Amino acid sequence: MSATGLFRGRLLWFDREPEGAEDTAAFHYVEDGAIAVADGRIAWSGDWSDLPEAFRSDDYSDYRPHLIVPGFIDCHIHFPQGQVVASYAGSLLEWLNTYTFVEEQKYGDPTHAQSMAGRFLDMLLAHGTTTAVAYGSVHKGSVDALLGAAVARDMRMIAGKVMMDLNAPEPLTDTPQSGYDDTKALISEWHGKARVEVAVTPRFALTSTEAQMEMSGALAREHPDCIVQTHLSENHREIATVAELFPWSKDYTDIYDHYGLMGPKTLFGHCIHQGPREIARMSESGSVAVFCPTSNLFLGSGLFDLDKMRSVSPHVRHAVATDIGGGTNWSMLRTLDEGYKVLNLQGQRYHPLRSFYQATLGNAQAIGMETSIGKLKAGYEADFVVLDVASNPGMALRAETVSTLSEELFLMQTMGDDRAVAATIVSGVTAHRRDKA
Ligand SMILES: [Zn+2]
């Protein structure tokens, strides 16, 4: 599947988090840029006029005047919830019990899981997302289907089967031992194959017994190179229920800490209502808080408070994600827009340079893949997205008055969606083109 190719357009990628609107040293911007791809990796990138002779060709993909950025990375998404999005529920637990736990049972059927895996990856690519960290259903086969489809497309994908042995319908529960065994089998079969990895995935403390939490901790200990993903501090009723289930715990975060599930490889979805002690532990352990704005608004869960986190510890790590299907849109552009509003409601600002950094290199750093993906730099895997700032009539009207890169990015995130994705390139192969979709 790996390819050789040449692409032309405006290029933007980041080297680090921009400190503000004027921090031009944080990124590379090339007005007339070239990306040469060989064997699925970026062999050269820079100014078109400087393209080395070895890479020159009359046969290239000309995406001028569009903007090419590294493929978006979605750090929290649920594979079996593509058909749960937009389900009418008032809050997290109602939404889970009424819709999600019903829908996820379908993924016990391998034929259904396989047909949905292709459609799931198609949706990601149509929205410019080239890497995701995904929750499967409780069924091992759901993750086999998803990672198999990702290998076939040479996509960089991380997924794990959820472990849950409590507070869920019987067909959706495993046991501490079967959850452990299935995760082990997934790791031996898929972890490190092509560009896919397996994540240790206890759904959340509310749906796991102490025995299952112990087994999850054992998996994390035995496979320190695997990402651990779970949910934390999303909803007040969830937090109260978890406190009853684990009465000895200092707080919600302490439960995961107790079982050895915190650390630089751990992604905690939501982290909305944590107290200072919990935030300090997040920071000390290097754990990542994953901000899922469309989900948090849709389910009325609360407002992610980045300033509060950073006031406790300036170095607490975070990521941004869709959380489909509690989240309401597959697009990282829509996600950045809602994230901006969530922070703005609390008097906090998130500059568009930071937003685009976060959806690319920032999220790559959150999942420890910043030396492979997240930049348009030679040696990086050739995953990128071509963005069109005038992709609908309203955007085209507004784009006429845009004069700076920051203005263009802010328009893209405020009004853009899948229509703004002109093309998505995976391992150097054009995997999605808007005009052919
Ligand atoms: Zn989630």
Q: What is the 3-state secondary structure (H, E, C) of 249-297?
A: CCCHHHHHHHCCCCCCCEEEEECCCCCHHHHHHHHHHCCEEEECHHHHH
For 46, 357, 375, the CA distances from 69, given in Å and listed in that order, are: 13, 10, 8
| Coil, helix or strand at residue 411 | helix
SS3 20: coil
Q: What share of the chain is helix, strand, coil (3-state, %, to 5)?
A: 45, 25, 35
| Residue 368 and residue 404 in contact, taking contact as beta carbons nearer than 8 Å | no
Centre of ligand 1 to C-alpha 159, Å, is 13
3-state DSSP assignment of residue 14 = strand
Phi, psi of 419 (to 5 degrees): -65, -25
Cα-to-centroid distance, 134 and ligand 1 (Å): 9
CA of 202 to the centre of ligand 1 (A): 11
- Do residues 327 and 86 lie in contact, with contact meaning Cβ atoms separated by under 8 Å? no
Expressed in angstroms and rounded, the spacing between residue 231 Cα and the centre of ligand 1 is: 6
- pLDDT tens digits along 343-374: 999 999 889 999 999 999 999 999 999 999 99
Residue 47 CB neighbour total at 10 angstroms: 12
Pairing verdict, β 156-160 and 196-198: parallel
Distance CA 410, CA 402 (A): 10
Å from CA of 367 to ligand 1 middle: 16
**Strand 61-70 relative to strand 384-387, pairing:** antiparallel
End-to-end CA distance of the chain: 20
Domains, the chain, ordered by start: 5-70+375-436 (2.30.40.10), 72-330 (3.20.20.140)
Closest CA to 326 of 300, 299, 301, 302: 299
Could you give the C-alpha distances from 204 to 117, 135, 190, 228, 413, in angstroms and in order?
23, 12, 23, 11, 31
**pLDDT digit string, tens, across residues 24-42:** 999 999 999 999 999 999 9
Element (H, E) at 363: helix 363-366
Ligand 1 center from residue 269 Cα (angstroms) = 6
The answer, yes or no, to whether the previous bond of 65 is cis (omega within 30 of 0) is yes
- Tell me, what's the pLDDT at 2? 44
Rounded distance from Cα 76 to ligand 1 centre (Å):
6
CA 355 to ligand 1 center in whole angstroms: 21
> Do 147 and 190 contact (CB within 8 A), yes or no?
yes
Residue 114 burial (CB count, 10 A):
16
Cα 268 to ligand 1 centre (Å): 9
- What is the pTM assigned to this prediction? 0.98
Here the tokens at position 43 are 């062999």
Q: What is the pLDDT along the chain (437 residues), one digit of tens a residue?
A: 445 799 999 999 999 999 988 899 999 999 999 999 999 999 999 999 999 999 999 999 999 999 999 999 999 999 999 999 999 988 889 999 999 999 999 999 999 999 999 999 999 999 999 999 999 999 999 999 999 999 999 999 999 999 999 999 999 999 999 999 999 999 999 999 999 999 999 999 999 999 999 999 999 999 999 999 999 999 999 999 999 999 999 999 999 999 999 999 999 999 999 999 999 999 999 999 999 999 999 999 999 999 999 999 999 999 999 999 999 999 999 999 999 999 999 999 889 999 999 999 999 999 999 999 999 999 999 999 999 999 999 999 999 999 999 999 999 999 999 999 999 999 999 999 999 87
